Amino acid sequence: MHRTTGHPQASPVLAFFARGRRGRAGAAWAVLAALLCACTAPTTTMTAPPAPPLHALPGGFTEHRWPAAHGQTVQVLERAERAAPLRYRVIVIPGSGCAGMGAVAERYFAGLLHAQVLVLHKPGVAPWARTAPGDCAPDFVQADALSTWAAHARAALRADAARHPGGPQVPQWLVGISEGGELLPTLAPEVPRLAGLVLLASSGLDPLEAGTLQARRQGALAPWQAVGRAQASARADTAVVQGRSLRYWRDLWHWPLAAPLIAGPWPLLQVWGADDELVPAVAYERFAAQAASRSAPYCPRSLPGADHGLQRPGHDGVQQVWGWLEQWARRPQAGPCAGGESP
């Protein structure tokens, strides 16, 4: 007997891009996995300061509600440095879906010792929510689009910057996890004293190209191409196809990522698992070949045996990344690529 949930149902095509997965090492947490999305967001002029904390969470995190675009708000997690002295700050754009990072934040960011941490969540996503991607509420499905998310994230970053009128006291890194990586080029100008960008489990290719490569790997080009025909049709943005609105798919189909990443003036650290089940190796290799021409430093790091969450048995690749940032923070003059060899 099948139970009807009332939520839009996703096919295997959507599963490539909006599925979370636990690491093979049996960790009790996972990176929220998704391959896709980004686009130029509308300009906003949000200057209202963030509200006081709502809740205190494990690991020293506090939960806040900050102003976003069009009168909406986003919920964020914030944590002070775990060890003195404060050397840098990390701003995190999580992956897709409607689950928050609150339940995993203490462990996930444990290795950021000398860094303040700020984690943004999409409107409608509570930091403590653990909703599976296929169970996201219809209202969330309708609101979820990369251009919308970029506008909200931009407004939240402006609110954050307004808290420090003289600028932040330390350099800042902007981190995109999976789908979150698609927003980094459009958000980078909003981050004062930006030290660089970090792509975790994000190919760097335009979402359409990366999605096509994954669909080919999964033998699902036909349903992927059907999504392409639907987004090019005259159907309303609110129509739901493969568990996502056509507005979402239209953003994704036309979202530029590779060119702005390659042309950008920021150092770029890109880390992925060699056994990533959601992003094919050819996608990472293709972008790495293109990004070799960057004028700014580019540091590609493939973790042998690691999955989309950067996990392999007995090894947590996320903490390895934070270790590289800690090394950089001790000797920033050596550059972001120093000491970042894969094991």
Model confidence at 171, pLDDT cuts 50, 70, 90, reads very high
Q: Which residues of 251-276 are buried (b: 16+ CB within 10 A; e: fewer)?
A: bbbebbbbeebbebebbbbbbbbebb
pLDDT score, position 7: 46
Q: Of all residues in the chain, what percent carry a pLDDT higher than 90? A: 78
Model confidence at 28, pLDDT cuts 50, 70, 90, reads very low
Given a contact cutoff of 8 angstroms between Cβ atoms, the answer to whether 222 and 6 are in contact is no
Q: Please tell me whether the peptide bond between 53 and the residue prior to it is cis, using omega within 30 degrees of 0.
A: no
At residue 178's C-alpha, the angle toward residues 172 and 179, to 5°, is 95
Residue 321: other Cβ atoms inside 10 A: 21
Enter the tokens of residue 204.
């760097």
First to last CA, the chain: 48
pLDDT score, position 156: 98
Model confidence pLDDT, tens digit, residues 192-208: 999 999 999 999 999 99
Tell me: pLDDT of 30 over 70.
no
Helices (H), 51-127: 105-108
| DSSP-assigned states of every residue in 65-86 | EEE-GGG-EEEEEEE--SSSSP
Model confidence pLDDT, tens digit, residues 78-118: 999 999 999 999 999 999 999 999 999 999 999 999 999 99
Does the pTM of the predicted model rise above 0.95?
no
Domains of the chain by range and CATH?
Answer: 42-202+257-333 (3.40.50.1820)
Beta bridge partners of 173: 90, 196
pLDDT score, position 99: 96
Enter the tokens of residue 309.
């969450």
Average pLDDT over residues 28-43: 29
Q: Round the average pLDDT of the chain to a whole number and report it.
A: 86
Average pLDDT over residues 8-12: 47
Model confidence pLDDT, tens digit, residues 299-343: 999 999 999 999 999 999 999 999 999 999 999 999 999 866 543
